[in-house]
A and B are shown apart, each in its own frame.
Chain A
Amino acid sequence: MPLSKHGYPRPLILKDGREVWLRPLQPAEDEERLFKFLASLSNDDRWYLEFDATDPEAVRRELLDCNPRCVLPIVAVDTRDAVLALATLQRFHAGARGHIGRLRVTVAPSVRGQRLGTYVLLDLIQLAVDMGLRVLTAQFVRGVEDQAIRAARRLDFFEQAVVPDYAKDPRGNSYDLVIMLKRIHRGYDDF
């Protein structure tokens, strides 16, 4: 699907009135901005990412050099092009999981509580609809990412599974992993 169908760049207005634009990450132009964004995250935030955000090679592998057919990184930028949020829509090869998309959203500490995470999640859902995906999944660490869990619930994600004691915090305490799913309708439902 050409991303142009989805209408990027897409404007967002945050709760405090700030204008933010959503667009695909441009590996060459955005590299420095992306590193700056990742550096703005706290150690705790970085701990729960699935890659080592302090390792430039890992960041390049995960986001800058990734195959766009497998991972679509989307950024939310302010009017000066500073990255305020990073989202990824991960897809699988056209096999048994070809209809599934996996979402991940990380928001800069300075704009939390401004609905940016919700709007980015909403955008990824619409992007998934535009791509013809049928099932969306997202994983959250309960007790750490509770706000994101609430946002996902408001967008019709439901808790499909909980894996007890799956993640650990830097001090070694265990947390449950919540696997959430959203099904995209194919036709009208009878009820």
Chain B
Amino acid sequence: MADPDQSQRLATKRGEVRLRCGVAPAALAAWRLDPGIGVFPSYRSLLTSQQSLREAAAEPEAHLCLALAEDECIVGFCLQRPPRPGERWAELRPPLMQEVMGEVARGWRGLGLIEAMLAKVVLRPANEERILYIMGYSWHWDLDHSRKSLQQYRDTIIHLLAPLGFRQFPTNEPNICLRSENLFMARVGSQVPRRTIKAFHNLLFGMAPD
């Protein structure tokens, strides 16, 4: 179960929402997934089912934070995890890079849930020794429901993450380069050694560390 210290209650226009961080896979069975997270005609959530959330939470070093409405319905999640094997970011040595992703269910957006979850996940002291990153692929963005253009959606992500210390980095990573509106942002922790930052810069352009 989640450490009670990592719980927080948020008052929203739709009622109280509880954030639970460091959620263990087994704990997920107690909650149901809001139907605003899943597969829609022109949009697919990052993680679409309880099963995929459970698998993500079970990965080594993964850190899952959930937003729970009425204490039993998952209306949002934020996940930090190591890069997938084979991804460029997995090559950094020491392996300090971790991906951050998150989503709030349709119907629960605009209530400040993602900001609160991101802050709880990202601002943990251990992350000062890591490089966190997000891969902003525009084809994952829920434009239909948000009624935002690609640029507005992209701006929203930047405005969410910049206050947490993320900034845009240029990269020739092929998936990011597929569309000009795609976004790569990273947060370099204050304790990351300079040589690792240099290796990260190299990695942005597919170069081996010096």
| A-to-B contact residues, CB < 8 Å | 5-7, 10-14, 17, 19, 22, 115, 119, 122-123, 125-126, 129-130, 132, 155-156, 182, 184-188
The chain B residues found within 8 Å of chain A, CB to CB, are: 42, 138-139, 143, 149-151, 154, 158, 162, 167-170, 172, 177, 179-181, 198, 201-202, 204-205, 207, 210
Chain A residues, CB < 8 A from B143: 187-188
Check A10/B168 contact, CB under 8 A, given A17-B210, A129-B154, A132-B151: yes
- Knowing that A5-B162, A13-B201, A188-B143 are A-B contacts, what are 16 other residue pairs whose CB atoms are under 8 Å apart, sorted by A's residue number? A6-B168, A7-B167, A10-B170, A13-B204, A122-B172, A123-B170, A129-B151, A130-B158, A156-B180, A184-B151, A184-B180, A185-B150, A185-B180, A186-B150, A186-B151, A187-B150
Q: Which residues of A contact B42 (CB under 8 A)?
A: 188
Report whether A13 and B149 are in contact in the complex, using a CB–CB cutoff of 8 Å: no
Q: Which of A17, A122, A188 contacts B170 (CB 8 A)?
A: A122
Q: How far is the CA of A98 from the CA of B133 in the complex (A)?
A: 33
Chain A residue numbers with a CB within 8 Å of B179 are 185
> Which chain A residues border B201 with CB–CB below 8 Å?
11, 13, 19
Bound CA span A31–B15, Å: 58
Residues of B within 8 A of A126 (CB): 168, 170, 180
Give every chain B residue within 8 A of A130 (Cβ-Cβ): 158, 168
Are A122 and B168 in contact (CB-based, < 8 A)?
A: no
* Contact present for A10 and B169 (CB under 8 Å): yes
